[in-house]
Amino acid sequence: MGAPVTHFQIVTKDPEKLAAFYTQLCGWTVNADNPLRYRELATNAGRGIDGGIWPAPPEAQGFVQLHFEVEDVAQKVTEATQLGAGVLVPPQTLPNGEQMAVLRDPDGIPFVLRSRPRA
């Protein structure tokens, strides 16, 4: 099985500005009604994927981060590191039961591996 891209995340120093930009440009809707004020982006296309906007750390430039759905996050982290990736956030379980880890590819670009919540 491949690892489909299931989510994108825009990391920026000015989340409000980019939320307004993409809302106006693309007709997306933004929902930030959550404790982290994470801006969930609904692309409203009926196809494709939805995403979110997250504040960048002070020292970082903005970037887009892809989220890949995999069966076994820990196994894929091991494979990725053997292929030259670095681990930024080791595998962990989120409150919704999802497993996730954040890595950097060999070129330094961050990406996320995640699995569906286990039943």
- 58: buried, middle or exposed (CB in 10 Å: 19+, 13-18, 0-12)? exposed
Output 84 or 48, whichever has higher pLDDT. Answer: 84
CATH number of 105's domain: 3.10.180.10
- The whole-number pLDDT of residue 24 equals 87
Q: What is the pLDDT of residues 3-42, one digit of tens each?
A: 888 899 999 888 888 889 888 878 889 998 888 778 999 9
Residue 45 sits in the same domain as residue 75:
no
**Could you give the number of structural domains in the chain?**
2
Where in the sequence is the domain holding 108, given as residue range(s)? 70-119
Residue 57 sits in the same domain as residue 94:
no
Is residue 26 within 8 A of residue 71, CB to CB? The reply is no
SS3 49: coil
pLDDT over 70 at 119, yes or no = no
Is residue 77 within 8 A of residue 83, CB to CB? The reply is no
Q: Over range 40-69, report the average pLDDT.
A: 86
Q: What is the pLDDT of residues 60-87, one digit of tens each?
A: 888 888 899 889 999 999 999 999 999 9
CA separation, residue 46 to residues 21, 28, 43, 55 (Å): 21, 12, 8, 27
Q: How far apart are CA 75 and CA 38, in angstroms?
A: 28
Residue 18 sits in the same domain as residue 40:
yes
Residue 10 sits in the same domain as residue 52:
yes
Residue 7 sits in the same domain as residue 35:
yes
Give pTM, 2 decimals: 0.72
- The whole-number pLDDT of residue 1 equals 61
Residue 56 sits in the same domain as residue 110:
no
Q: How far apart are CA 82 and CA 45, in angstroms?
A: 37
